[in-house]
Amino acid sequence: MNFMTLKSLEINPSVLIVKPSALGDIVHTFPIVRAIKRSIENVSIDWAVADSYADLARMSPHVSEIFPFKRKEWGRWWRASSVKEIFGYIKDIRQREYGAVLDLQGLLRSGLITFAARSDLKIGFENAREGATVFYSAKIPAPDHGAHAIDRYFSALSGLDIKTPESVGYDLDIPVKESLWADLNTPKEPYAVINPNSRWETKRWPAEMFGRLAVELYKNEGLKCVIVGGPDDIERGKAVAQSAGESVIDLTGQGSIVHLAALLKKASALFSNDSGPLHLAVALGTASVSIFGPTDPSMTGPYGPGHAVVRKNLDCSPCFKRRCPYNHECMSQIGVEELIEAWRGLKLEVS
């Protein structure tokens, strides 16, 4: 074991994880939290996270304290209110000293938080961007470019002299309040969740196709569908609902991320583009059928068994572009029947 790591964590078994965002990345961090908790005796784990994901991070029973920061304020650092917010946050995070700080984000903002935290051992990837590496006392070799996000994060455990776990676990607790909300807002019979959204335009399967999928799932598979999404996704949710009729319940714009987790936990399956809710479903043990086009499922797809990916093997895919010059063929060529077949295959796999 590295002497510095041994000394730091034996004297002070505490770790601050710096991983501010986004939804999928937060979910991919839970197995790291679990591995640290299982590997270091009596360890206390804190987490520096953007305020919009604080409640999600709190779902881990292994996290002692959450340090949420106002992400928008940090982006407007020149304003007096933002300066006050930033210095107040730094004061809070410096209240205790850590055996180690682990920056999994690798950007300037996370590097600054790592720098501000009190610890002799500050760990980050050697290929961190925006100059964040200057804040690290220990730099971890970057994994292969094509590595899955979870495997990438697991490689960071070497900085704590922790071996990569043989299995992946998330250990998420859903509060009773949100669980009851899900009960009240979903059908009593089995249902599927549909997530037709993604920040990237190129990652979105057409809304009318999701509507047709919902009709087929209801008519032939006995699954009513619940549409989910944030406040910015309301119009897209309406478009899906209008083409699906009585096959769906539209909850777009309702509830929080924790409410979404409760919906997914009770669902028979999630049908989704490549976006955060897909990874949350995986973490909760809910089967998923996901649609990939411009991105690579080997890097950001569902991790582990019990999930199906539908994609077209076109020469231009994956392109990792937010705009498509080729009529979005990698997504538009995917048919409803392909997702239905993938779902039926999953059911056979489980049975």
**Minimum mean pLDDT among 45-59, 77-91, 205-219, 296-310: which range?**
77-91
Distances (CA, A) of 105 to 88, 111, 149: 21, 8, 11
- Same-domain status, 86 and 153: yes
- Provide the domain count of the chain: 2
Model confidence at 294: pLDDT above 80: yes
- Same-domain status, 145 and 263: no
- Same-domain status, 154 and 190: no
Three-state SS string over the chain comes to CCHHHHHHHHHCCEEEEECCCCHHHHHHHHHHHHHHHHHCCCCEEEEEEEHHHHHHHCCCCCEEEEEEECHHHHHCCCCHHHHHHHHHHHHHHCCCECCEEEECCCCHHHHHHHHHCECCCEEEECCCCCCHHHHCCEEECCCCCCCCHHHHHHHHHHHHCCCCCCCCCCCCCCCHHHHHHHHHHCCCCCEEEEECCCCCHHHCCCHHHHHHHHHHHHHHCCCEEEECCCHHHHHHHHHHHHHHHHHEEECCCCCCHHHHHHHHHHCCEEEEECCHHHHHHHHCCCEEEEEECCCCHHHHCCCCCCEEEEECCCCCCCCCCCCCCCCCHHHHCCCHHHHHHHHHHHHHHHC
Q: What is the pTM of this model?
A: 0.94
**Minimum mean pLDDT among 44-48, 77-81, 121-125, 137-141: which range?**
77-81
Domain contains 167: no
- Same-domain status, 246 and 330: yes
- Same-domain status, 64 and 114: yes
Domain contains 171: no
Q: Per residue in 240-274, pLDDT tens?
A: 999 999 999 999 999 999 999 999 999 999 999 99
Q: Which of 39, 168, 144 is nearest to 102 (CA)?
A: 39
- Same-domain status, 16 and 55: yes
Task: Write down the pLDDT at residue 77.
Answer: 65
**Omega of the bond leading into 318 within 30 degrees of 0 (cis):** yes
Task: Write down the pLDDT at residue 5.
Answer: 66
Domain contains 210: yes
- Report the pLDDT averaged over residues 231-243: 97
- Same-domain status, 244 and 152: no
- Same-domain status, 186 and 297: yes
- Same-domain status, 223 and 279: yes
Domain end residue (candidates: 129, 160, 191): 160
Task: Write down the pLDDT at residue 104.
Answer: 98
CATH of the domain at 139: 3.40.50.2000
Domain contains 168: no
Q: Per residue in 80-134, pLDDT tens?
A: 677 888 899 999 999 999 999 999 999 999 999 999 999 999 999 999 999 999 9
Task: Write down the pLDDT at residue 84.
Answer: 84
- Same-domain status, 207 and 141: no
- Same-domain status, 183 and 151: no
Task: Write down the pLDDT at residue 71.
Answer: 76
Between these two residues, 73 and 313, which has the higher pLDDT value? Answer: 313
- C-alpha atoms less than 13 angstroms from C-alpha of 187 in its C-beta half-sphere: 19
Question: Which range of residues forms the domain containing residue 68?
Answer: 3-160
Model confidence at 335: pLDDT above 70: yes
